[in-house]
Structures are given as C-alpha cells and as structure tokens.
Amino acid sequence: MTRLIALCAAVLLPVAAMAESIEGEVDFTGKAPTPGKLHREADPYCAKTPMTDPTVLVKGGKLENVWVHVTKGAKDATAPSGVVEMDQKNCMYTPRMTTAVVGQKIQAKNGDPVLHNVHTYFGASTLFNKGMPNDKAAPIETAAKEEGMMKWKCDVHPWMRGYIGVSKNGLQAVTTDGGSFKIDNVPPGKYTVEAWHEKYGTKTKEVTVEAGKPAKVKFEYTGTEKGGA
C-alpha cells in the first residue's frame, strides 16, 4: 500500500507542477491625462450623478483596464459554465472591461429606470442592437462566438462604452487599478502575449513559462499610441 501511494504521488506531482502563471504590470510612462467631465446633462436621470471619463485611468504610473491575453502557443479551452454579465448602472456600462471565452454565455442587464440601447460590435460589424426600456426589461442573452474584442455602446447615451475581451484559450486577465495582472493555469511553454487598451491599442511580447516559477512580463504605454477602439 505504501508503495502504491508513493507511485501515485510521483504521477500527480508533475501534473500539479504544470500550472504556472504569467504575471506583470502595464506601465504608463507619459503624462497621465486628467479625466474630463462627461456631459450627461441631456438625460435628467443620468445628470443626477456627475462622472468623469474613464477611458484612460492611470494610478502611480500604471494603466488600468488593459486586456492582457495569450494569442499564440495555447490550446483552445472549453467555455466556462458561468455567465459573463454586462450591466448598465448610473448610465454607464459596468464593468468597463471584462473577459469571456469563446462559447461562453453573456448577459446584458439594465439596472437603470431609463431607456438604454444596447449596441454591440465585433470589429466594424454589429452583433446586435436592442433597446432596453428600463430596469424591468428582460436581460439580453448572447454568446461569445469568436476571439477578439466585443465592444458595447449605447446609442441613446453616447458616452456609454464597455468591452469584453474574448479568448479561445481562456488565458487572459484585465489590469487592476494598480496596473497589475495575473494569468493562472499556464502550462510551461512559449507564448505570444498581447495587451490591448481601448485608446492606445495593442502591444505584444514573447514569453517563456518554465515549470516551478511564474513568468514575468511588463508592457509600457507612453500615451502617444493610437489604434484602440
């Protein structure tokens, strides 16, 4: 029995060791722009809650809401059973940026007592364009059908923007307000990792993940880049 347990442990340990991570941060080296006021006065409900533009959020020289994902080197993943939610609260899409896996269910909600028009794009093509009269409206359900960036807007309130990064392999993360990210469960190997920001576009790095330690990677934006949404 003791020998059998030891043999099982010898088999299981290498499998556990396969789960590594890619982690790092996204630096912003230019002068951080001051978020401007959003002009929401046209809608009395929206105007009750003054807000600033969240397009570029920099804290301590680190950039928030950057989608970091593996684009090459990984196998496709099975879509998780969990539903990705994109809500509309205080006339803003919430969250601003999140992720999904190809095939995963996505649900749009309206948490406001006013009309929102949920207009989603993949590239320049419209995926769907539906009105949600108020918070009593039934959720809109769809699915992530292909890899890339799913963009959300409201034709009634033009400042409303949201983004869902869709991955085939599920190896992805979104930077926090400290600009950091961590992609878990990455097998050892060589990968291409891409960072995407809604205003400043993409940056690409090659990363090698070795067994027994996380791979470190850092991206840098200067604030002069173009090519986002």
Task: Work out the pLDDT band at 13, boundaries 50, 70, 90.
Answer: very low
User: Structure tokens of 179?
Assistant: 């600009």
3-state secondary structure of 147: coil
Task: For residue 138, give the DSSP letter.
Answer: P
Question: Is residue 215 within 8 Å of 209, Cβ to Cβ?
Answer: yes
Q: What is the mean pLDDT of the chain?
A: 92
Give the model confidence (pLDDT) of 30-54 as tens digits: 999 999 999 999 999 999 999 999 9
The CATH label, of 3.40.50.300, 3.40.50.1820, 2.40.160.60, 2.60.40.420, for the domain at 20-221 is 2.60.40.420
- How far apart are alpha carbons 203 and 193 in whole angstroms? 8
Tokens 């948490």 correspond to what residue? 111
- How far apart are alpha carbons 99 and 166 in whole angstroms? 6
Domain boundaries, the chain: 20-221
87: left (phi over 0), alpha (psi -120 to 50) or beta: beta
**Mean pLDDT over residues 207-219, rounded?**
95
**Mean pLDDT over residues 100-111, rounded?**
98
